[in-house]
Structure 1
């Protein structure tokens, strides 16, 4: 898929503050997402070259525990009409999302040879998509896109790169449609998790991983699996879905979104409960 975006000039309202990590011997990190959004700012150097300085907002993002109706978010054990169908989704997801499967999907869809369209044309396609993994929402996904973008615009009115990120973060769900391969829901939506290492018990509906071929594979079923300690999130294979696909689309089409926007798109389904599985100096933004 190729998406054409008319890029506005970014109006970023952030404090000009370098983010320094004591764990990196005082070196400046290139990306920190811990609730204060960090974005690159171009600065001119004396020699005429342009470099990027990391700037950040000190306004912490606090995710609410419940929605406006007083109901908790992402409660997979709550009794509801969707509970059984959501668990069935995760059963299929956990059985079929293997390291080899994700490797094949990334190779296939990184070709970006499906469809060319505008952002709004892509949004309209999501009129026909309902996310089977979501215990809170059974409305067409286009409503979710608009609600998310509007909520972000209200909270961060001057950070238009973030408004755009919110609008397009779920566009990868078009993978469910025939022109994009008509992948099954378990290969497109839902929470994401690391592959190539043991499946952590904190992952929702963990019991279904016992039927996954990787579960008993000695190369994949230890704590670190195929990874070395501290290797960094970019080197970890994450279960395949709309997040990774939309990240590939944006990156390969030369988006001018800052790295923080790409990070949100790629990992917004990778929840805080997995923090202990990745290097401690890498902080994740709570998903939208």
Structure 2
């Protein structure tokens, strides 16, 4: 909502779909339907229905993963990629489920903290009910401005569950969180749709349903030969800019541009939309897009 109007006014045709589990679209509880490859097919069918042949996918967080898979499954349709917060990662070849505890043990060894600890809570069976019953608390929990508090909530066992279950709202938050024009539509949407479907994005990751179609992709499809713009946030403790470096060093990103957005956390579309739009516009012009 903070990006689309600008690029519409610049003459681009902009499509902003509600992704599976959110907003006005379907909210299935079959985790396999959240597979990136299947969702990419859905979006291509949407583009076909609109008569759009080529596209520049722009995605934030999980949307970044889906944007990448549109390229991997339909490279002939993609002329460039814009990835926000979540770095590039190639298609998966291993088809066994992931162990979140073992993964966080490894993150703690490498990064010094359990980077995806919060996701262990998100995939608990009763997590949707807890969040559905405490939406105001959830709103403050996920949009905190204090890094020390964010580290406690996101990266230490039990703290996210404790915060939401007790309906706490004492997490210091960014200014945009207090904007009722932003908060109230989110509260309304989540009250109507609930968290059961959105949390399936996390279940899909840990159950590794994405590999079902991905493991059959040609190996060369992991190499992205269109321009890629990757923007990440200085104070994001979960999505680190350095995550992209191993794949860049492997030569999988032939035309990569990186920008660090200073002094903010994860929610760059809310916090720095003007800077984000300016950087995207300059990059598009530089690339002749």
- Length-normalised TM-score, structure 1: 0.27
- Length-normalised TM-score, structure 2: 0.27
- Structure with the higher fraction of residues in helix conformation: 2
